[in-house]
Amino acid sequence: RIQLRRQGSVERLEVRWDHYAPPQGLPPVTLVNMVHLGDHRFFEETQQFLDGYELVFMEGVRGEHRSQISAAYNDLATHLRMSTQSEVMKRRPHFRFHDVESSEMSSAIFGAFVRLRRGVSMLQRQIAEQAEDYARDYPDLGPEERQRAAARGPIRRELAESLSDVDYDDPDLIGGRNEMVLSAVEAELAKSGGHETIAICYGASHATGLAARLETWGYQLTSFEWRPVFSAYLDVREAAAPSPAGEEPTSRPVTTVAGPSPE
């Protein structure tokens, strides 16, 4: 549900949004797999997409560590010339949050925060070193162009590779939180005359567990669509350009899944 796709000199990180047909008497559910760091356009498109649903279950750790984690992600995005979900997307009345309080898993959250801060520091050094290399190899590029190329090039690709190879089995950060939101979804499905369309918008690392539970409830995957999150530019001059080709992501076609229609 998350992949790297190469087109010419550009590699794009993409997430898959899965559409599930329900068993009789229940509403359809869409699993919107997310990455919390990406192009501004990706988050705008996600917001617009979710605004078309009656009820959306959103990921979002609550409590004291939330602002620290958001700040670290924002720093990371700034260095990479990208945006974050928390910066772009707005809360809506139909968004529901059934995630944990950060105090309930403080050690896991704090560990993730420390790793993220270290990642930001390492990223700063990598971009500076890469820009120095470009000063030697591409003397015609100005300082801003070298910084832009460093942020949008191989370093972005490394990030995309790491995000496309996530660990799906972390019991602290994934499993328990899945159970919380799934309990809320199950309660909603049990209501008579409930919402007609439901989306679950969580990080892609949660997808395996969420999808498995939907299937045990009788839901069937009927179609999916790949959405571009951000691009890495392998050509230095393309990465250095103010508006690289393909910078604005575009929607991909929906793919229908073969199989019997649910009854």
- How far apart (Å, rounded) are the C-alpha atoms in residues 93 and 97? 11
pLDDT of residue 104: 53
Quick one: tokens of 35? 């990455």
Q: What are phi and psi of 116, to 5 degrees?
A: -65, -45
Q: Are 184 and 57 in contact (CB under 8 A)?
A: yes
**DSSP state, 110?**
H
- How far apart (Å, rounded) are the C-alpha atoms in residues 68 and 73? 9
Determine the 3-state secondary structure of 82 from DSSP: coil
Burial class (CB within 10 angstroms; exposed 0-12, middle 13-18, buried 19+) of 144? exposed
pLDDT of residue 46: 95
Residue carrying structure tokens 């990455």:
35
- Total residues found in the chain within this entry: 263
Q: For 196-234, b where at least 16 C-beta lie within 10 A, e where not — what string? A: eebbbbbbbbbbebbbebbeeeebbebebbbbbbbbbbb
**DSSP state, 194?**
-
Paired with 55 in beta bridges are 198
- pLDDT truncated to tens, each residue of the chain (263 aa)? 888 899 889 999 999 999 999 999 899 999 999 998 899 899 999 999 999 999 999 987 655 556 677 777 788 888 888 888 888 889 899 999 876 654 555 555 556 656 666 777 888 888 999 999 999 999 999 999 999 999 998 888 888 887 776 555 566 678 788 888 999 999 999 887 778 899 999 988 888 999 999 999 999 999 999 999 999 998 999 898 875 443 443 444 455 555 443 33
